[in-house]
């Protein structure tokens, strides 16, 4: 069965500290992995996707198929990064069915 | 470009009633998906429509149904409401690529409360 696991419900760091939000998945095929973010009082929005291999707002995520992980990283956290982060998996092909993790609330303290 | 629009924003219904939620996708987007978000279960996929056809369905009872119109607007219906149906219902649209999943653009959701 397809599953996405985000082990931390809450991650609290100080401004300027490195951030790593963990995401592990289970899927036997070649999935598409995404990170979505929801800032306070805003709608859920795409942060980045693994096939783009780009850095958005200083965040990066590398797909590690051996460890079935897609951790989100940022070297120096900013207060405006405080938000709910969701890792999501798509099995690929012509479908928009996403399997979401339970989310991690990132709180960046001043 | 206007974002995904969901109406109404809030709904209060009683058990046994039925409800219809509406979603207008971003112009040009032909794929519409629906998700249920609750504190206990998180975000769960309900169904997905593309060109008026249901392409995928999640593990929800038959009381949950949906449809898509020729202008890509979508509605979902929940019949015989139960207390556990209280949730935020999110609609998402995407610019469809037949070979590669496209990023989803979410609406603000409809908050349904069943009493």
Phi, psi of B63 (to 5 degrees): -65, -20
* Residue B40 and residue B86 in contact, taking contact as beta carbons nearer than 8 Å: no
pLDDT at B19: 98
Residue B112 token pair: 């349904």
The pLDDT, as a whole number, for residue B83 is: 97
pLDDT at B98: 58
Instruction: Work out the mean pLDDT of chain B and round it to a whole number.
Output: 93
User: Are the Cβ atoms of A90 and B101 closer than 8 angstroms?
Assistant: yes
Give the residue-averaged pLDDT of B22-38: 95
Of A63, A21, A94, give the one whose Cα is nearest residue B30: A94
pLDDT of residue A47: 95
**Yes or no, beta carbons of A49 and B58 under 8 Å apart:** no
A94 in reach of chain B (CB within 8 A): yes
Please report the pLDDT score of residue B101 as a whole number. Answer: 62
Q: What is the pLDDT of residue A1?
A: 77
Point out the residue among A43, A49, A51 whose CB comes nearest to the CB of B106.
A43
Nearest-Cα distance to chain B for A39, in Å, is: 12
Residues of chain B positioned with their CB less than 8 A from the CB of A94? 50, 55, 96, 98-99, 101
Note the pLDDT of residue B40: 87
Q: Name the residue facing B42 among A45, A46, A102 (closest C-beta).
A: A102
Residues in chain A, pLDDT under 50: none
CB contact under 8 A, B105 and A45: yes
**CA-to-CA distance for A47 and B11, rounded, in angstroms?**
30
A84 part of contact set with chain B, CB < 8 Å: no
Which residues, at least 6 apart from A83, have a Cβ–Cβ distance to it below 8 Å? A37, A38, A39, A40, A105, A106
pLDDT tens digits, one per residue of B59-105:
999 999 999 999 999 999 999 999 999 999 999 999 876 556 678 99
| Nearest residue of chain B to residue A42 (CA atoms) | B108
Best mutation target among B45, B101, B111 (most A Cβ atoms within 10 Å) is: B101
Substitution target from A29, A93, A96 for chain B, most B beta carbons within 10 A? A96
Look at residue B61 in the predicted model and tell me its pLDDT: 96
Query: What span, in angstroms and rounded, lies between the C-alpha atoms of A49 and A53?
Result: 7
Q: Which residues of A touch B109 (CB under 8 A)?
A: 43
| pLDDT at residue B100, as a whole number | 61
CA B53 to chain A, closest CA, distance in angstroms equals: 12
What pLDDT is recorded for position A37? 97
């Amino acid at each position: 069965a397809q599953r996405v696991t985000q082990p931390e419900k809450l991650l609290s760091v100080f401004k300027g500290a490195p951030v790593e939000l963990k995401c592990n998945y289970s899927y036997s095929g070649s999935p598409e992995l995404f990170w979505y973010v929801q800032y306070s009082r805003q709608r859920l929005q795409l942060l980045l996707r693994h096939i783009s291999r780009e850095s958005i707002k200083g965040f990066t995520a590398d797909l590690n198929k051996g460890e079935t992980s897609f951790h989100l990283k940022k070297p120096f956290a900013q207060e405006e990064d405080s938000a709910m982060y969701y890792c999501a998996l798509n099995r690929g092909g012509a479908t928009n069915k996403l399997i979401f993790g339970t989310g991690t609330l990132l709180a960046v303290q001043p | 470009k206007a974002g995904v629009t969901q109406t109404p924003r809030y709904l209060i219904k009683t058990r046994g009633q039925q409800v219809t939620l509406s979603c207008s996708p971003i112009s040009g987007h032909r794929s519409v998906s629906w998700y249920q978000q609750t504190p206990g279960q998180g975000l769960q996929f309900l169904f997905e429509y593309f060109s008026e056809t249901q392409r995928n369905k999640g593990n929800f009872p038959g009381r949950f149904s949906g449809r898509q119109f020729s202008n890509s607007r979508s509605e979902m219906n929940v019949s015989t409401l139960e207390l556990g149906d209280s949730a935020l219902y999110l609609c998402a649209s995407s610019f469809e690529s037949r070979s590669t999943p496209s990023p989803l653009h979410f609406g603000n959701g409809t908050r349904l409360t069943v009493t």
